[in-house]
Structure 1
Amino acid sequence: MTTLYTNARVPGGATAMAVEAGRLTWLGTDYPGQVAHTVDLGGAFVTPAFVDAHVHATSAGLLHTGLDLTGTASLSDLLDAVRDRADTDVLLWGHGWDETRWPENRPPTRAELDAVAGGTPVYLSRVDAHSALASTALVELVPDTRTAPGWSGEGPLTQDAHHHARRAARESITPAQREAAQFAFLRHAASMGIACVHECGGPDISGADDLADLLARSGDLPQVVGYWGALGEPVPGVRGLAGDLFVDGAFGSRTAALRAPYTDAPHTSGARYLSAQQIADHVVACTAAGRQAGFHVIGDAAAAEVVAGFQLAEKVVGERALAAARHRLEHLEMVTGEQIDELARFGVIASVQPLFDAYWGGPEGMYAQRLGDRAAALNPFATMAARGVRLAFGSDAPVTAVDPWATVRAAVDHRTPGAGLTWEQAFTAHTEGGWHAAGMTGGRLEAGAPATFAVWDGDPRTSPHCLRTVHNGTTIHEVR
């Protein structure tokens, strides 16, 4: 049975598309065959649907059902928000505060948080999700938090202390809350023209049950490609042991691993969690098993460790086997040209987030606060593309907004001159690049390709609204 989409504006000049059995069978202006169903798109624009190559679905969904702190403008705004939502019988989960944008330029102390939370367990992750404020009621659920690396008696928790607190908060979420959060996120992604997301789960992020539930979700929803960020801990249904397998942390929380200390905190150079040998062993094991390996890597010390790890792995499995495996690195913000050349040689995919630069780049942004002059070299998308590293774009939701067109514009309008991409390169990274990163093909509108596309109410370069998202011939979002 053929469905014909008519009155459309398709790249290349077509005005109609025929779909059968989940695939595009024809594009043109005057369909020669018979159809079972016709959909008039009313002159709307059609593009390939987007892929978000790095998400955390439950955490992002909790922004809809929990406490969204991304708009807080001051320390007192955060405390007021907690006071308004505190309930002594229910965990309060929040995300998105960023003290670098506040006049106080500091987060609240635990005492200040307790004063408005009362006896409520409160977990409030920083915008980068690598540190969090935790109320005393939450800390008391996991006493080991007080002796773990990253513990602070007054300020945010980082490193293992943060992981303990996050685990306690996660385990306090009911199955019904998890289901609501996951459906909320997936439906929102579909409404933004996204047909596929890569879930970057892991034992310190979301838990195996969370990932299993997400992969089992059914209905007219975006496709979920699962990754599990752990060494040697396979779980059913995942594409690879990749995603947020942490080599280091993040700049905002001062846990990204640097070769030289932070400009605004000379006492620390961040935290490195894996050695080159551990990285190599993981890459070798995954390559031999036919799985993708991958790591979260942000700081320059972490990037150097990863490159050294791949070089060690090459001695065991060879360059050709590495390149065929499509191993991937998440974020890869602080990397040199020489390191990029090595990663290109090994066929490594860079899963990157252009909105990081839009949010925190520039001479007055958080990157400059943390790193000084080093900030200008972050996120060198143009160099990666020119030297042969395949790019896949994502949001790292809930760290940045799920907004594909804003992501494309951020990659083009990079805050560092010369580091941005062309419009076509950026769009390809958010479509074809995402499918490639998951070992699949997609992102093109041509006969024989999957019928996966999005329909827009205006020119794609002018922030259009999504009217319809179709994945493999099935409509997963429609404005009625």
Structure 2
Amino acid sequence: MTNPSILYRGGRLYCPADPRATALLVRDGRIDWLGVDADAPTADRVVELDGALVTPAFVDAHVHATDTGLALSGLDLSGARSAADVCAAVAGFAAELPADAVVLGHGWDESAWSDRRVPDAAELDRAAGGRRVYLSQASIHSALCSSALLAAAPEATGVPGFDASGWLRRDAHHVVRELALGSVTEAQRRAAQRVALRRAASLGIAAVHECGGPEISSEADFTAVLALSGVDGPEVYGYWGELMGAERARALGAAGAGGDLFADGALGARTAHVSVPYDDGEPGACGHGYLTSAQVRDHLLDCAEHGMQGGFHAIGDAAVDTVVSGFAGAAEVLGVERLRAARHRVEHAEIMNKRLIAGFVEYGIVASMQPAFDRLWGGEQRMYASRLGLRRSLESNPMGAMHGVGVTLAFGSDSPVTPLDPWGSVRAAVAHFNPVQRMSVRAAFAAHTRGGWLAVPAGAGGRDPRLTEGMLVPGAAATFAVWSTPAGVDDGGLPVLVSASAEERGPDDPTPLPTCRRTVLRGAVIYDGEDAS
């Protein structure tokens, strides 16, 4: 028995092949027809669009669903502007918790504070009434911990990254993170995952790439997120970041053996591996490289042996250089064309140069990037400039240059590092702090829609991304979003995202962004704004 056919009419479709289209017919999960209202075929049901814009739905190419859900429903510290703000927020949140609960918070970013002193372990003890406290920094690569939590994790003492002040990085952070998140019950985890996926659907996101691994999540957590794929929400494609773990990734149901397989850390924690020392770190400090080029090579060979897509987290230019060198080593064994055909990925790729970009082109590496990083931390006065100096800051996140030479881009949020916000990410790429790196709305939108499908290997989820995923054309999957566009639609058929005023145009542009009215995944409605209201 076939599903009822549905005609969506009276809108405006982003369909470059037929820019006049105002209607589309959905039958059995696919787009059966599109064109103008007057030519529309009959259907079992009709949905009036009332002038709304219809576009392909977004794909978020890098998320952490459980952490996102916990951040959405837990202690949000993104608004804190001082150590006192953090302590006040902890005190208010902890007062509602049982005495034996762990206080979990996320999102503080001292780089934006006028006084960059962070609260120490003793201050967190007092604020939380003696409860264990774990507060992840915006990058998720370091955290503030109370004395009570440190006492519960004696194995972290003396491990690289440990500091008695309670601000932990590197391996010590991994130890306390595992302990803190281990306090979350299975029911809480499932609830958090559903909260995250529902939020994604409400923003016009129909698929997410979940990045897990032994250093950031458990196998049970990872597979639980995968089990929710397409269950009244977005599809989930998983990446398991374990070195030499291609066989394990396949057994877990992952699309690839990569994602957060760490070649380095993060700029916020000064653990990203850079070739020139940090401007605001210890003298000569260049962060930390966690992999060698030989390990990168061997991981790619392991992926080839098991027929898996691979990938790495690499932020600093020294880490990216290690990864590209590993690709060169793998190419000597496999040949360049076989390596290119696997469409391996690098997550973030924030600090690049022309030579490294050329390596992405040569080996067909997909760049999974987060435009919001530039919006939040780029420019002359923000974190990149503090860590790297102005020149290197302006050279960061070179998505425009990479797009210009043909690197496949897949945009995402790294949520909860930055919020789920697809139109905000498109605007961030369009309004990059460095005008040289700015992209067109059309190119940035493609990177956040079709690019996300192209970043997933053919066959994952029973689909082939090389065909019509991320497009509104007859025969394609009926995966789209319906939008209200308060600032209007431009001549190319996409929403106006930036101001006509040159003074207002930029990462903090006040132009109102589109709001999602409905999200459809393969013909099924996974979000309806009318139901939500």
Q: Using structure 1 for the length normalisation, give the TM-score.
A: 0.98
Other-structure match for 2:426: 408
Other-structure match for 1:21: 28
Verify: 1:144 aligned to 2:155, yes or no: yes
Amino acid at match of 2:87: L
Shift of 1:162: 0.4
Other-structure match for 2:311: 294
Verify: 1:242 aligned to 2:250, yes or no: no
Structure 2 gap ranges (5+):
458-463, 489-494, 498-512
Q: Tell me, yes or no, if the aligned pair for 1:243 and 1:329 is still in contact at 8 Å.
A: yes
> Per the alignment, in what secondary structure is the counterpart of residue 140 of structure 1?
helix
Question: What is the distance in 2 between the residues matched to 1:342 and 1:300?
Answer: 12
Other-structure match for 1:176: 187
Question: What is the distance in 1 between the residues matched to 2:5 and 2:526?
Answer: 18
Verify: 1:232 aligned to 2:244, yes or no: yes
C-alpha distance after superposition, 1:167-210 (max 9, x if no partner): 00111100111111111110000000000000001111121111
- Of 414-423 and 134-143, deviating more is 134-143
Other-structure match for 1:40: 48
2:67 to 56, 59, 65: 59
Other-structure match for 2:395: 377
1:465 to 510, 515, 524: 515
Other-structure match for 1:6: 9
Other-structure match for 1:259: 275
Shift of 1:39: 1.1
Question: What is the distance in 2 between the residues matched to 1:426 and 1:288?
Answer: 34
- Of 374-383 and 220-229, deviating more is 374-383
Q: Tell me, yes or no, if the aligned pair for 2:34 and 2:40 is still in contact at 8 Å.
A: no
1:476 to 526, 530, 533: 526
Amino acid at match of 2:256: G
Verify: 1:89 aligned to 2:96, yes or no: no
Amino acid at match of 1:299: G
1:107 to 102, 118, 133: 118
Amino acid at match of 1:229: G
Shift of 1:155: 4.2
Other-structure match for 1:310: 327
Pairing of 1:46-445 with structure 2 (within 5 A): 46-86=54-94, 87=97, 88-217=99-228, 219-233=231-245, 234-235=248-249, 236-267=252-283, 268-372=285-389, 373-439=391-457, 440-441=464-465, 442-445=469-472
Amino acid at match of 1:247: A
> Per the alignment, in what secondary structure is the counterpart of residue 43 of structure 1?
coil
> Per the alignment, in what secondary structure is the counterpart of residue 140 of structure 2?
coil
Q: Tell me, yes or no, if the aligned pair for 1:166 and 1:204 is still in contact at 8 Å.
A: no
Shift of 1:119: 2.4
Amino acid at match of 2:524: T
Question: What is the distance in 2 between the residues matched to 1:186 and 1:103?
Answer: 35
Structure 1 runs of 4+ aligned residues shifted over 6 Å read none
1:451 to 478, 482, 505: 478
Q: Using structure 2 for the length normalisation, give the TM-score.
A: 0.88
Question: What is the distance in 2 between the residues matched to 1:292 and 1:137?
Answer: 42
Work out the percentage of aligned pairs sharing the same amino acid. Answer: 49
Q: Tell me, yes or no, if the aligned pair for 1:100 and 1:106 is still in contact at 8 Å.
A: no
Question: What is the distance in 1 between the residues matched to 2:305 and 2:24?
Answer: 42
Q: Tell me, yes or no, if the aligned pair for 2:300 and 2:310 is still in contact at 8 Å.
A: yes
